[in-house]
Amino acid sequence: MIKIHKEVYGQGRPIVMIHGWAMHTGIWREFAQQLAHYYQVTCVDLPGHGLSETIEPYTLPQISDALIEVLPETPFTILGWSLGASVAMTMAKYYAQRIDSLILLAGNPRFVEDEGWVGMQPKLLEDFANNLQLNCAATLVHFLAIQVNSLPDNKHLLKQLKKSIKECELPAENILQGGLDILMNEDLRSHLASLSCPINIIQGDKDALVPVQTSWDMQKIQPACEVNIISGAGHTPFLSHQSEVIQIISRFL
């Protein structure tokens, strides 16, 4: 069993939070501590990110198997953001008995555009993959800027993101590439359709990475999904619209 870093806050009904590509638990900390006034919040570093050891091959089933070993024994709500939403859907599929409910924050089952599916332009991810080999740090800064540059307080939010990133060493290039491969190639729509747990979709209407239309398309795939669109939010609503996200979670649970 590999070492998976986690941070636990508060008491009560358990919520597990899984961060996005190139990040670590530090990105959640302020939000997690606020949410912990109402719940027991566990934040985990994905394998190869933050303080967690890595795995090979870097696939969603392998990631899910590594994380489940350190998570609560009792059924819990799993909240995944961006790439973390893909991990959360995979865990809800293969560890259904452990997952009480699922929250997808700025995530979707198919990140790239596909026939009949409005997603991210594949070229954007291809450019990220190519640029990682040239300048890893600059590529990550560009990725962070895309997440917030459509928002009025983008400079403050970008500063927060950069500060969080600098807490830990950057993931190795092969780990970053593995995460991009997941975003580029995985299609979890059949996973989503098969889930029986309650599902909450939280999406910003100004998200530059995940088109807001995907929320309604997910609801068509899985009619049991509850959709919440946050006006004025981008790809990081837990930073820009913290209280609204907490209110949505509290109503859902």
82, 101, 164, 215: the active-site residue: 82
Among 238, 36, 82, 45, which residue's Cα sits nearest to residue 157? 238
pLDDT attached to residue 43: 97
* Residue 138 pLDDT level (bands cut at 50, 70, 90): confident
pLDDT attached to residue 82: 94
| pLDDT at position 212 over 90 | yes
Helix %, strand %, coil % for the chain, to 5?
Answer: 45, 15, 40
pLDDT attached to residue 173: 87
Question: Which residue bears the tokens 């609503």?
Answer: 237
Least confident of 120-129, 130-139, 165-174, 175-184: 130-139
| pLDDT at position 134 over 80 | no
Is residue 184 within 8 Å of residue 60, measured between CB atoms? no
pLDDT attached to residue 196: 94
Predicted TM-score (pTM) of the model is 0.94
Helix (H, G, I), strand (E, B) or coil at 82: coil
Determine the average pLDDT of the residues in 206-216.
Answer: 93
pLDDT attached to residue 52: 97
CA angle 206/210/216 to nearest 5° reads 90
Determine the average pLDDT of the residues in 18-44.
Answer: 94
Q: Is 24 a catalytic residue?
A: no
pLDDT attached to residue 199: 98
pLDDT attached to residue 125: 81
Per residue in 101-111, pLDDT (tens digit) is 999 999 999 99
Q: Is 19 a catalytic residue?
A: no
Determine the average pLDDT of the residues in 8-32.
Answer: 94
Domains in the chain with CATH codes? 6-252 (3.40.50.1820)
Query: And the tokens for 218?
Result: 């997910």
Task: Give 83-143 as a DSSP string.
Answer: HHHHHHHHHHHH-TTTEEEEEEES--S--B-BTTB--B-HHHHHHHHHHHHH-HHHHHHHH
For all residues of the chain together, what is the average pLDDT? 92
49, 100, 207, 240: the active-site residue: 207
pLDDT attached to residue 141: 76
Per residue in 143-190, pLDDT (tens digit) is 777 777 776 777 877 787 777 777 888 899 899 999 999 999 999 999
Q: Is 205 a catalytic residue?
A: no
19, 24, 235, 241: the active-site residue: 235
* Residue 139 pLDDT level (bands cut at 50, 70, 90): confident
